[in-house]
Structure 1
Amino acid sequence: MARTRFALVTGCGQGGIGEALVTEYTRRGLHAIATVLPQESSDHLTNAGITVFPLDVTAEKSVEDLKASINKLTGGHLDVLVNCAGIAYTMTAIDTDVAAVKRMFEVNVFGPMRMVHHFHDMLIKSEGCIVNIGSIGGVIPYLYGSSYNATKAALQHWSSTLRVEMAPLNVRVITVISGEVSTNILKNDAHRQLPEGSYYAPLAENFRQHVTRTAVGATDRFQYATNVVAQSLKASTPAWYWYGSHTGMIRFLDTFGWRTIWDSMLWKMFDLAKLKQAHAARTNKDARLTQ
């Protein structure tokens, strides 16, 4: 009789990509294991019959406790690990709160590192697959996301090196370059405002609209999950799997375009001409006052 296959997905809060992924793994016949933050509700998962454990990827003890529980449940096997837990931080690069960014790196970058460090033996035993959820933000200089983009760029390059290192051990590694997916990841940033006196103050309303936006044309998270899960279960997997809205165009331009191809596009998209005009007017005013 065939052994039960197990898929572990971190960051499965309600309304996110993780929830969609464990739902799809379950549909595909795997025993899906979801994690949520210790203080987070898991009713949306338990009501669907999905195994759930609490996990804080920033805490070593929490990851160790999870491994002990999963080792007992699976007999030491793990066929798929999806590092999906992630948070956002929206702010201009010059107005960044470094303490908040440190927290984001703990979740988005060091979290996957901890998970792989503690679960690699189970994945090697099963000749399994590691899936790291990246973003187009790790490829293009999307405004107001410099710090988030940095976490994804770091994750993606780490993931690529991990892929090479795990190949001799028969573990596949996929880096998913996600386009915009319809989730609630921005909900904790909806209140964010530019700090008083910011050079970007002329774009304060633009910034407010950005953090409270509803993504138009975003990929449905369950459609996204169907495709990502299918890739992870293939015997031969892509190194980078691009999926989600706008990824086709971004992949093409990143491959064949010049390095600053995004600059003019983002200039128009984020109305940077307005900022330049306001800055010039402010500079001229300051110059007159000092004469």
Structure 2
Amino acid sequence: MAPPRKSVLITGCSANGIGAGLAEVFHEKGYHVFATARTPSKVPPTLSSSANVTVLRLDVVSPESIAAAVESVSKETDGRLDVLINNSGGTLVLPALDIPIEEGKKIFDLNFWAPLAMLQAFAPLLIKSRGCVVNNTSANAVCPMPLMSVYNGSKAALATSSETWRRELEPLGVRTITLMTCGVKTKFVDNYHVSFRVPETSQYFKIRDFIESLPSGRLQEGAISPKQFGVKVVQVVEKGTVGTVWAGTNAFWARVEVWLSPQLVLMIHDMQGRERMV
């Protein structure tokens, strides 16, 4: 008898994003893909109309929505899930002095608490299949870009916790991969950026045009596509990799720089930040 088709659930599968790129590659590899999004209509038609792709409405900050997703997946897979990819996330670009605290907490809810809630909810399915959880963090977790402190902090929390979860889940037969994601050309900022104007009372008001232009997507120019990123991730999942994996444009050199001279990297970031603020 043929082995059951492997399954993967991916959060944040809106068109032109990392989640959609991952879903496409996993589908090509023969997985049953559960492509999820808070707004299912944003999942690209190439996925939603494909065989062996199930589109689910999933709001990762809603316990009720997560529970409904677990029930839907369990019914179709006999209570198993081979791969869970925590990909959903959001960002907020503002100086720390100007960040509305409640909005900052929402970013932490989405970038940190939601992946933990997803892991807790889907753990029985992953344990049953001796599966794999993939947490999409960011190079910003260790290379903190100025004006993104809430995003950087939330991704640093996820990266550290993901490696902690790896040690806790290993005895249960579940692998954990922590993605340190570098440049990928997506619509992430359009879909998940919390937009605020720099207030007139800000210490940084004189460079407000520079700050407010950062989410324009120009930082992603020349980056690899979501599908290229997906190919890399699927490869490490299928190889049985565990631990931290750097992926995205210039990922190798970013990893080398951080490994060899973390203080130098931070100094360069500091210098660049000061130059922009002059």
Q: TM-score range by the shorter chain?
A: over 0.9
Is the Cα–Cα contact under 8 Å of residues 129 and 173 in structure 1 kept in the other structure? yes
**CA shift digits 1:200-244 (9 cap, x unpaired):** 122222213322242222121110000101111223x14111011
**Residue 258 of structure 1, CA deviation:** 4.4
Aligned to 1:130: 133
**Residue 40 of structure 1, CA deviation:** 4.7
Does the residue aligned with 2:15 lie in a helix, a strand or coil? coil
Tell which has more relative contact order, 1 or 2 (C-alpha 8 A, sep 6+). 2
Equivalent of residue 79 in structure 1, options 77, 82, 85: 82
Map of 1:111-260 to 2, 5 A cutoff?
111-187=114-190, 189=193, 192-214=196-218, 215-235=220-240, 237-259=241-263
Comparing 133-142 and 206-215, the one that deviates more: 206-215
**Residue 190 of structure 1, CA deviation:** 8.5
Aligned to 1:287: none
Is the Cα–Cα contact under 8 Å of residues 92 and 194 in structure 2 kept in the other structure? no
Is the Cα–Cα contact under 8 Å of residues 91 and 194 in structure 2 kept in the other structure? no
In terms of Rg, which structure is larger? 1
| Residues in 1 aligned to 2:210 and 2:71: alpha-carbon distance in whole angstroms | 48
Aligned AA (1:275):
M
| Residues in 1 aligned to 2:26 and 2:107: alpha-carbon distance in whole angstroms | 27
Q: What residue ranges of structure 2 are gaps of 5+ in the alignment? A: none
Is the Cα–Cα contact under 8 Å of residues 92 and 150 in structure 2 kept in the other structure? yes
| Residues in 2 aligned to 1:38 and 1:265: alpha-carbon distance in whole angstroms | 36
| Residues in 2 aligned to 1:228 and 1:51: alpha-carbon distance in whole angstroms | 20
Equivalent of residue 46 in structure 1, options 37, 45, 48: 48
Is the Cα–Cα contact under 8 Å of residues 70 and 121 in structure 2 kept in the other structure? yes
Q: What residue ranges of structure 1 are gaps of 5+ in the alignment? A: 277-291
Aligned AA (1:229):
V
Identity across matched positions, percent? 30
Aligned to 2:3: 2
Aligned to 1:13: 14
Aligned to 1:280: none
Is the Cα–Cα contact under 8 Å of residues 21 and 229 in structure 1 kept in the other structure? yes
**Residue 149 of structure 1, CA deviation:** 0.6
Does the residue aligned with 2:245 lie in a helix, a strand or coil? strand
TM-score by length of 2: 0.92
| Residues in 1 aligned to 2:215 and 2:130: alpha-carbon distance in whole angstroms | 41
Equivalent of residue 264 in structure 1, options 252, 262, 268: 268
| Residues in 2 aligned to 1:86 and 1:274: alpha-carbon distance in whole angstroms | 27
Aligned AA (1:7):
V
Does the residue aligned with 2:85 lie in a helix, a strand or coil? strand
Does the residue aligned with 1:82 lie in a helix, a strand or coil? strand
| Residues in 2 aligned to 1:81 and 1:51: alpha-carbon distance in whole angstroms | 14
**Residue 260 of structure 1, CA deviation:** 5.4
**Residue 247 of structure 1, CA deviation:** 2.1
User: Pairwise CA RMSD of aligned residues?
Assistant: 1.8
Is the Cα–Cα contact under 8 Å of residues 8 and 33 in structure 1 kept in the other structure? yes
Q: How many residues align?
A: 273
| Residues in 1 aligned to 2:49 and 2:270: alpha-carbon distance in whole angstroms | 43
Is the Cα–Cα contact under 8 Å of residues 128 and 172 in structure 1 kept in the other structure? yes
Is the Cα–Cα contact under 8 Å of residues 193 and 207 in structure 1 kept in the other structure? no
Equivalent of residue 63 in structure 2, options 57, 60, 63: 60
